[in-house]
Amino acid sequence: MLNVRLLHFRLTGLVAALLILGMTPACAKKASSSHTPVVSINAAFVPHVQAFVQAAAQQGQTITITDLIVQFGETPSSGDTGVCVWADDATPTVTINQSIWNTFNSSADEEEDVFHDLGHCLLRRIHDQSRVTGTTSLGTQGSIPQSVMYPVRIDGVTYTDNLATYRAELFSITNQF
């Protein structure tokens, strides 16, 4: 039986949706002889996936990608930035809305988006709505998301200005499903 663990919609607006179907404790992914691992990463995402693996290593974690699809495609709504689907006996799949991707102003915008969805698909992270004081996109101290796993996209300037903090938090694995 296919057990869908998480279907994640990442919105660019103020609203984000998370649909959880049949969620069970995620101790480990079941081994299956019927599933053949696939690695298929669109060229646009390769540098960000490599950066994710490198950032994990800098935080003391080893990530080896043996089963993952990262692609452009349709998301449930035209306002959804990306979606991560992870299920038993299936390849974890990140699908990014290319129309929104094409509006990003920097590689930091792109990286934040990919890191968020890889956080769901590879680290089994859930959303974190916490906010902390940090450097805002205006260069002043103010309230910012505590985590890349915030349910609304973080702009590239805020992400870059708080990069070390965001990476340390992401790979701390504090909130998993």
pLDDT for res 3: 32
pLDDT category of residue 20 using cuts at 50, 70 and 90? very low
How far apart are the C-alpha atoms of 75 and 98, rounded to whole Å? 9
The answer to whether 6 touches 84, Cβ cutoff 8 Å, is: yes
Contacts of 155 (CB under 8 A, 6+ apart): 109, 137
Q: Which amino acid is at 163?
A: L
Residue range 145-176, pLDDT digits in tens: 999 999 999 999 999 999 999 999 999 977 77
- Residue 108 is predicted with a pLDDT of 97
Rounded mean pLDDT of 13-40?
Answer: 49
pLDDT for res 110:
98
Q: What is the C-alpha to C-alpha distance for residues 50 and 141, in angstroms, rounded to an integer?
A: 31
CB contact at 8 A, 7 and 21: yes
pLDDT score for 33: 60
pLDDT given for residue 145 in this prediction: 97
Judged against a pLDDT cut of 70, whether residue 5 lies above it is answered with no
| Residue whose C-alpha is closest to residue 122's, from 35, 63, 61, 58 | 63
Task: Please state, in angstroms and as integers, the Cα–Cα distance from residue 166 to each residue in 7, 36, 107, following that order.
Answer: 23, 33, 16
Q: CA-to-CA distance for 35 and 114, rounded, in angstroms?
A: 25
pLDDT-derived band of residue 34, with 50, 70 and 90 as boundaries?
A: confident
State phi, psi for 144 to the nearest 5 degrees.
Answer: -135, 160
| pLDDT tens digits along 98-145 | 999 999 999 999 999 999 999 999 999 999 999 999 999 888 999 999
The single residue listed with the structure tokens 């080896």 is 64
Whether the model pTM is above 0.85: no
Region at 89 (left for phi over 0; alpha for psi -120 to 50; beta for the rest): left
Question: Is there a contact between 150 and 125 (Cβ–Cβ < 8 Å)?
Answer: no
Summarised one tens digit per residue, pLDDT across range 47-96 is: 999 999 999 999 999 999 999 999 999 999 888 999 999 988 999 999 99
User: Where are the alpha helices (H) located in the chain, listed in sequence order?
Assistant: 46-58, 98-101, 107-121, 156-161, 163-170
